[in-house]
């Protein structure tokens, strides 16, 4: 058991180094630097000791998917130099459990969610940054605002004063090839730029969150400034 754990820790050290180098290279290729890209680790199923090890290496953003899991680990995360965000599907009635624990909610796509986040944030005297999740491939199996409805959605969501519209997030469809994949990434980047250009009150296109273990380099090349990486950093998930 002890040995397995040490192995995993060593692997995470190596993987972290590899991924940060890749991110820096892709950032350069897209006219940015590594500082422009947030490497957020997707920490679902990962032991908090392993997460804290990654944080000790310099990781400064983590994201959880499930409210229950976040709460069970919350007291043990070492968050002094690290941001905790929520990246999973968020049921309206569970928002109250995490609202005072996360620095951003990445997966908002109904006005009901916006209302609830806003109401709870106002009670705490904060303004919660949220990303609008976009169903860029218009897949029936996925949540997210449809691309043609993004603008209308944001125009309504921005009126809730307990939230700050901080950007967009997406998970593209599984694609046969990188060209097709990069077309989805580029399409959402285009929306991101268009919306930014409109300079709407309470809308800040600071964050374009896309790209996971298998495609973070392509995402950065297409304009992502946040990537969410799980298995490439921590190894295959054990459910």
Ligand X SMILES: *Cc1c(COP(=O)(O)O)cnc(C)c1O
**What is the binding site for ligand X (CB under 6 A)?**
42, 44, 65, 87-88, 212-213, 228-232
The nearer residue to ligand X, 160 or 234, going by C-beta atoms, is 234
Q: Are 217 and 26 in contact (CB under 8 A)?
A: yes
The nearer residue to ligand X, 28 or 174, going by C-beta atoms, is 174
Q: Considering only CA atoms, which of 37, 86, 16, 87 is closest in space to residue 224?
A: 37
Nearest residue (beta carbon) to ligand X: 230
Of how many residues is the chain composed? 239
Q: Are 166 and 104 in contact (CB under 8 A)?
A: yes
The nearer residue to ligand X, 87 or 136, going by C-beta atoms, is 87
The nearer residue to ligand X, 102 or 162, going by C-beta atoms, is 102
Q: Are 111 and 148 in contact (CB under 8 A)?
A: no
Q: In angstroms, what is the minimal distance from the CB of 122 to ligand X?
A: 27
Q: In angstroms, what is the minimal distance from the CB of 163 to ligand X?
A: 19
Q: Are 83 and 106 in contact (CB under 8 A)?
A: no
CA atoms within 13 A on the CB side of 126: 13
Q: In angstroms, what is the minimal distance from the CB of 184 to ligand X?
A: 15
Q: In angstroms, what is the minimal distance from the CB of 161 to ligand X?
A: 27
């Amino acid at each position: 058991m002890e040995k397995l754990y040490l192995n995993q820790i060593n692997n995470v050290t190596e993987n972290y180094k590899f991924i940060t180098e890749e991110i820096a290279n892709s950032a350069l290729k897209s006219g940015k630097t590594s500082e422009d890209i947030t490497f957020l680790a997707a920490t679902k199923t990962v032991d908090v000791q392993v997460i804290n090890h990654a944080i000790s290496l310099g990781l400064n953003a983590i994201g959880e998917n499930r409210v229950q899991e976040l709460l069970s680990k919350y007291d043990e995360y070492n968050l002094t130099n690290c941001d905790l965000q929520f990246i999973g599907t968020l049921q309206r009635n569970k928002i109250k459990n995490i609202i005072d624990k996360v620095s951003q909610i990445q997966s908002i796509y109904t006005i009901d969610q916006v209302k609830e986040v806003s109401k709870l944030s106002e009670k705490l005297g904060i303004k919660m940054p949220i990303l609008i999740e976009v169903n860029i491939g218009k897949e029936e199996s996925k949540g997210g605002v449809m691309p043609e409805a993004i603008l209308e959605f944001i125009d309504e969501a921005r009126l809730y004063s307990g939230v700050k519209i901080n950007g967009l997030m997406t998970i593209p469809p599984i694609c046969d090839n990188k060209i097709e994949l990069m077309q989805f990434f580029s399409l959402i980047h285009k929306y991101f730029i268009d919306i930014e250009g409109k300079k709407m009150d309470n809308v800040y296109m600071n964050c374009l969150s896309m790209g996971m273990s298998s495609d973070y380099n392509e995402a950065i090349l297409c304009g992502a400034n946040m990537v969410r990486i799980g298995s490439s950093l921590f190894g295959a998930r054990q459910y």
